[in-house]
Chains A and B, each alone.
Chain A
Amino acid sequence: MSRRKLSRRQFVAATALSSAALITAPYVRGAHAAGKLSIGFWDHWVPGANKASTDIVNAWAEKEKVEVQIDYIPSQGNKNLLTIAAEAQAKSGHDILAMPTWWPHAQAELLEPMNDVMEGLIKQNGEPNGTVKYLGQSKGKWLAVPASVGSQIKGPCSRIDLMKQHAGIDVQALYPAGAAPKADSWTLDTFLKAAEACHKGGVPFGIGLGETSDNVDTAGAIFQSFGAALVDEKGNVTVKTDAVRQALEFYKKLISFLPPDAGAWDDSSNNKWLVSGRGAMVMNPPSAWAVAKRDAPQVAEQCWTHGFPAGPKGRYAPYLSYFWGTWSFSKNKEAAKSVLRALSQADAIEKMCVASGGYDLPCYEKLTTLKVWQEEGPPKGTLYHYPNPHNHQTLSIAAAPAPPKIAQQIYTQATLTKMCLRYHKGEAMEKVLAWAEGECEGFMRS
């Protein structure tokens, strides 16, 4: 047996090469050799929807030899927000954490940039919608990866029968299943007349005026339809404008046709309103319809999700986006990015959308025409227009285009619905505007 002698030079070269290979090689090296990854996903409302995410992550973990732990964190009682705040304070926690709407910007300094992930995803899936860019990007840096899970449009969900009976509007004709909308006549004026007619008919529109997200989102879309913004994109306070005055005048008229207790509504009130059969329309993702399908099938059969009415400055619909962010102090960033890529593949997104019964809404332009929205029912096609497949409306979020950290305050403090309520309760227009201006100036804190 021959014995080859290793020279000192050869030994040093081999050591240097193998060290370099270990450092530069992908994190995958063997069974669970790529280490551990902890994920905090949002706990989905829809029963069974979490399983789709778990399956995708487990399949990825099996392939990449990573040990994964998933926690599903509910948004009830703002537990997810508390977790985000606690992990940001402790500089420790999940490697990936689901963050709603404003939180990527709120934690921008502590998040790992995701530009490398997003470049590939945009090439595959198409451009994300404008709201996602607004909420997920800062100074050219992607703060987090848009999540389809939990993202939604809060458009009108109308009762086909009641809208025909009381307002003479055929919502299926305006928004036919499988075809582009024929909704030029669906304007805020028509909407207001319909609200009045349904109110007279004893089935008022279920639009809340409380301080929770659903209420603020509707107000945001209507304000934007008038071109009304409290703060512009440069951070200037623009409360005292004609557009804001017009929006308030519109809301004052609308409030008189809404349920008298709308000021106390939270995010569950509109769901209950639709399911109980007491109203002709609510502004909600298909969760209310899904509950009706289970608890009041006769109501669900008459529900049709469609686009927002257009105002003088355009047709806007509220889009609420969830993100998956990775902390800059995460111990396994590469694995985190890899699993986020896996979760954002078109087939994975479709799987999660199907599991959520069509509730989840990807932000990418190539993924707004999945089969799930065409097939869900009854009535068949009820969700066809939910993902805005014909780009019929501009997706936005209340308080945009203000810089996100200011917009978050306007949104959280429900300044828009408070203005509407104050004006409706008889406060003078200029006094309401002065109050809102003072609030917005306070939100400029940095």
Chain B
Amino acid sequence: MVDVALQPNRSAAQAARKRSSLHRMLKRKSTVAFLMTLPLILLIATLVIYPAFYALHLATLNKSMERFVGLSNFEFLFRRETFWLVVKQSCIFAITAVIFKALLGFIIAHFVHNIPAKGQRKWRGMLLVPWVIPPAMSTLAWLWLFDPSYSAFNYTLSFFDIGPIPWTGDPMWARFSVILVNIWVGAPFFMIMYLAALKSVPEQLYEAAAIDGANWWQRIWYVTLPMMRNIIAITTLFSLIVTFANFDIVRILTAGGPLDHTHIFATWAFRIGIEGSDIPLGASVSLFMVPILAVAAIFILRDVNKRGNES
């Protein structure tokens, strides 16, 4: 591929102008590409790179933000019992939610895939509803369902002599509730990705498997799963990043309680940084997610590369 656009039949005047290096530079395809992406680069620089570096700067200041303290904020965090509770909970929250989202998405994708094409579209639309509603709004509805005193779930369960269940009042139930809502919101994303992957599996492979006498489980294990491997890996890791950084569901449902047992990185950072007026420490808590998410990102990129090489 050439890097300079060729223009035959150029006039003498144009040739003279082309001598200017600026003009030559502007004519390069790479320059044009750069200029066209410049707005996006500027946007990312303003909204992503600058805040990221500013957060790094904040994390190195003392509480009153008057002194550089290096990594002291992280040292301080490592000595806090609540910090390790938050690390543990963030892992439990993200890993459990992603596993169940993937599992549910996989199962529902199969059901939808088996619906005749005529009625499939409306099912796909309906199943995507939890994912397209802004989570802050849908979580408010869940909050009412889980309300400590007026829970609609408890009201229903009372007809079967069950409960009342302290959905948000008991540490274990509260963890269950926030994970459940996260699964409800996120499972449709997995469903739609897996459905797309299922549709791209060649029918001949299933036919060949059927001729070889493969049963339902063997078809899944030896045909479907290997064909979906890359999409499963990428979707899972992408979701892991998003779930780790979740804020709205926990903030609205439990605000980290009871006894800090549902706090995750983002909600605890908000509690410390904004509510507690300790912005440097809040920034440090937020930044602690970076190494964890960076590992996940490396896995994603590795998988993308692998997929590229295979194709």
Contacts and interface: CB of A to CB of B under 8 A. Distances in A.
Contacts of B278: 409, 445
A103 B148 contact: no
A78 B275 contact: yes
B169 A260 contact: yes
Interface string B219-256: 00000000000000000000000000000000000111
Nearest to B174: A264
Interface stretch (A129-137, A165-173, A265-273, A365-373): A265-273
Interface string B70-97: 0000001001111000000000000000
B257 interface: yes
Nearest to B254: A264
A85 B279 contact: yes
B138 interface: no
Contacts of A212: 255
Given A260-B166, A412-B275, A278 B259 contact: no
B102 interface: no
Interface string A56-87: 00000000000000000000001001100100
B148 A408 contact: no
A264 B166 contact: yes
B185 interface: no
B76 A81 contact: no
B134 to A, nearest CB: 14
Contacts, number: 90
Main secondary structure of the interface of B (DSSP, over half): loop
A422 interface: yes
Nearest to A108: B64
A263 B257 contact: yes
Which size bracket describes the interface of B in this complex? 35 or more
B285 to A, nearest CB: 13
Nearest to A445: B63
Contacts of A412: 271, 275-276
B277 interface: yes
B256 A211 contact: yes
Interface in A177-231: 210-212
Nearest to A215: B257
A263 B261 CA distance: 12
A171 to B, nearest CB: 23
A109 interface: yes
A438 interface: yes
A270 to B, nearest CB: 10
Nearest to B253: A264
Interface in B138-180: 148-150, 164, 166-170, 174
Contacts of B164: 260-261
B256 to A, nearest CB: 7
A157 B204 CA distance: 74
B259 A418 contact: yes
B149 A272 contact: yes
Contacts of B167: 264
Nearest to A435: B81
Which size bracket describes the interface of A in this complex? 35 or more
Given A266-B255, A421-B259, A446-B63, A259 B274 contact: no
Interface string A401-426: 00001001100110000100110000
A410 to B, nearest CB: 10
A370 B64 CA distance: 40
Interface string A78-110: 100110010001000000000000110011010
Contacts of A446: 62-64
A442 interface: yes
B257 A211 contact: yes
B258 interface: yes
B303 interface: no
A62 B301 CA distance: 63
Nearest to B280: A445
B276 A445 contact: no
B259 A81 contact: no
Contacts of B260: 418
Contacts of A211: 255-257
Max chain B Cβ within 10 angstroms of own Cβ: one of A211, A212, A276, A412:
A211
Contacts of A85: 273-274, 277, 279
A278 B258 CA distance: 23
B183 interface: no
B274 A442 contact: no
A264 B148 contact: yes
Nearest to A446: B63
Interface string A105-140: 011010000000000000000000000000000000
Contact of B149 (A259, A413, A438, A439): A259
A212 B277 CA distance: 16
Nearest to A273: B149
Contacts of B174: 264
Given A210-B255, A445-B63, 7 more contacts: A81-B275, A85-B273, A102-B277, A260-B166, A269-B149, A413-B271, A439-B82
Interface of A: 78, 81-82, 85, 89, 102-103, 106-107, 109, 210-212, 259-266, 269, 272-273, 276, 278, 405, 408-409, 412-413, 418, 421-422, 435, 438-439, 442, 445-446
25 contacts: A78-B275, A81-B274, A81-B275, A82-B274, A85-B273, A85-B277, A102-B277, A106-B277, A109-B66, A210-B255, A260-B166, A261-B148, A261-B164, A261-B169, A262-B148, A263-B169, A263-B258, A264-B167, A264-B174, A264-B258, A405-B277, A409-B278, A413-B271, A438-B81, A445-B76
The 4 closest A-B pairs by CB, nearest first: A264-B169, A261-B148, A106-B277, A264-B168
